[in-house]
Amino acid sequence: MVAHREGSGVAEWHETEADVMFISAGQITMVYGGTIVDAKTTAPGEMRGPSIRGGTEAKLGAGDVLHIPAKVPHQMILAPGAKVTYFVTKVVQCAGCKLTA
């Protein structure tokens, strides 16, 4: 999926999906880890909230790639007036899946 943001996102948590992101234009601060403040289940296996408490911050710009494993809270923060365009791929992580050749 190609996405474009002109503002910060909410904190997210996915039970079985990892995110792999490639920043194509702009700059962000990604907060990951910690706990989601006032987390609410928004769909099966999905939680959202307004922010993250106790997370780690990483500054990312064009050309950077980030992998967020399943079950890791994360939130994209943009500076006021900033814009970002990025590609994100969702990778389903499942225990006990059988691969066939």
Residue spans of the domains in the chain: they are 2-92
Predicted confidence at residue 97, as pLDDT, reads 66
| Entry pTM | 0.88
Token digits of residue 44: 């099966």
Q: Can you give the pLDDT at residue 41? A: 97
Reduced to 3 states (helix: H, G, I; strand: E, B; else coil), residue 96 is: coil
pLDDT for res 81: 95
- Per residue in 35-92, pLDDT (tens digit) is 999 999 999 999 999 999 999 999 999 999 999 999 999 999 999 999 999 999 999 9
For the cut 90, the answer to whether the pLDDT of residue 11 exceeds it is yes
- pLDDT band for position 93 (50/70/90)? confident
For the residues of 30-55, what is the DSSP string, one character each?
EEESSEEET-EEEETTEEEESEEESP
Residue 12 has pLDDT above 80, yes or no: yes
Q: Which of the following CATH numbers is that of domain 2-92: 1.10.10.60, 2.60.120.10, 1.20.120.80, 2.30.30.40?
A: 2.60.120.10
The predicted pLDDT at position 100 comes to 61
